[in-house]
A and B are shown apart, each in its own frame.
Chain A
């Protein structure tokens, strides 16, 4: 049984069809890259998977269950965990507090009014482990507003990991990163591969071809190809629509 099955997904914004009959199938443990030019509808697709946007038509099934009608938080509790293309964190909290909040969402209800969160060892432990995993353990007590851009991207990943996810939806985790930071992120993602289902939206072709089990190519909201990296490289239609000759040569 596939982890995620998307069928016949459509989303229109006025006259623009941002998602045009998308079909997607993610196996457990698969790292599935979604590539495509700017404005192809990648973020729109992720938003529909996470529940933040309602599709006009189509169904989304997770572990065999139709979850199209579930709200954002219900999907998160079911095992979806996303990161944002434009960093979306809590700037006034420390890095540790950010990740602890993520862990808290999956550790029972929060109608607890008396005990300080700062004393909840289980949350701290989960959060520290996630920060460690992304390489931020030396920055735990820094207020997030004071972190560098690359560190924000790492924090995003730490927050998605702390929610005990089954499926990661990563929207351009390397956006705006320098060469060095990108390499660290690729290594991090390589380490996550196989442990979760991962949908990776990414522009960095080195990363995509190094990491992906399969690649879907999105153009004008349509999946024009879905295959293993080697086949995508050789696909003439993809080459014409999207990949520059250099990227293919690389």
Chain B
């Protein structure tokens, strides 16, 4: 572990893993709820980062999948189905269908058009959930109890926290493999120069769609956790601001770095919490602060660390500029 990036990642995860301990020591059970929320958004941001950071697909509608996950738990619980496996199965099934259809349409476009059309789909689902009067409509749906996963008793806050933490760590390890796998190389190649990828013989659309669906499914899982944490499923989970927050977390933490979204989610949600404690006008402070952080650090918190780790290798300047035909 020579790179500063890896060290920082280990320290960050170590600190997050110890949260239930501080909560117990300082008798502040509220910490667990706060940080469980942070972990959940870290997971969602991690999922989005697969396509945004590694595939240059800027989805401005990933809150849609958080919503699908939350409503899978909410609606099934409403009908008396408490099994976590049923929640998971339903969420992933609906998520897969929705992501395949939405992705198939959206990936026909790129750039600004892609951003707008992903946003449009998320808004569509938002209004759909508002119109679900039998499931609370605008007010959302309260959930009686957490998903039932048998011997893993999620009703216990500490168990719940570590379950989320375990999923986060597992996803980090999985994504670490993906990024350097064949699939990851194709994704990164498409980000770098998609035209060349096609000319080499890659059916790029197929791979991008697969990445989109995987990324969406991670957000579905995050949505299920969020519903379990808040015991609530609401259209507000799907608001465009939520999609925007995910992007901010990624940009803040460092695009195209694996742990960046985790750092970004932690940073953003903690800042929000602290500033909200000081003043009700916290948004006025937070907005410019984010802009400053991103401008100063350029590639986000972990981008800086990654750059530090690379300053051994000489002659690495001249980014971009050589790809694509002029027209």
A interface list, Cβ under 8 A from B: 43, 50, 52, 71-73, 76-77, 82, 84-93, 97, 100-102, 104-106, 110-118, 120, 142-146, 152, 159, 163
Contact = CB atoms under 8 A, between A and B. Distances in A.
B186 interface: yes
A142 B316 CA distance: 9
A88 B180 contact: no
15 contacts: A73-B198, A76-B200, A76-B201, A85-B325, A88-B199, A88-B322, A90-B189, A92-B188, A100-B185, A101-B200, A102-B200, A105-B197, A105-B200, A113-B182, A116-B180
A93 B321 CA distance: 13
A249 to B, nearest CB: 33
Contacts of B195: 52, 88
B201 A163 contact: yes
B201 A97 contact: no
B193 A117 contact: no
B262 to A, nearest CB: 20
Contact of B325 (A86, A93, A115, A120): A86
A93 B199 contact: no
Contacts of A145: 316-322
A106 B201 contact: yes
Interface of B: 174, 177-178, 180-186, 188-189, 192-193, 195-204, 207, 210, 313, 315-326
Contacts of B200: 73, 76, 101-102, 105, 159, 163
Contacts of B325: 43, 84-86, 88
Contacts of B203: 71, 73
Given A101-B185, A116-B177, A152 B322 contact: yes
Contact of B317 (A71, A116, A146): A146
Interface centre among B315, B323, B324 (most CB of A within 10 A): B323
Contact of B196 (A88, A92, A106): A88
Contacts of A163: 200-201
Given A88-B196, A159-B200, A117 B185 contact: yes
Contacts of B178: 113-114
Given A86-B325, A163-B200, A146 B316 contact: yes
Contacts of B318: 91, 145-146
Given A76-B198, A89-B322, A146-B315, A104 B182 contact: yes
A117 B174 CA distance: 15
Nearest to B176: A116
A93 B320 CA distance: 11
A110 B199 contact: no
Contacts of A73: 198-204
A110 B196 CA distance: 16
A113 B202 contact: no
B180 A118 contact: yes
B315 A112 contact: no
A88 B186 CA distance: 16
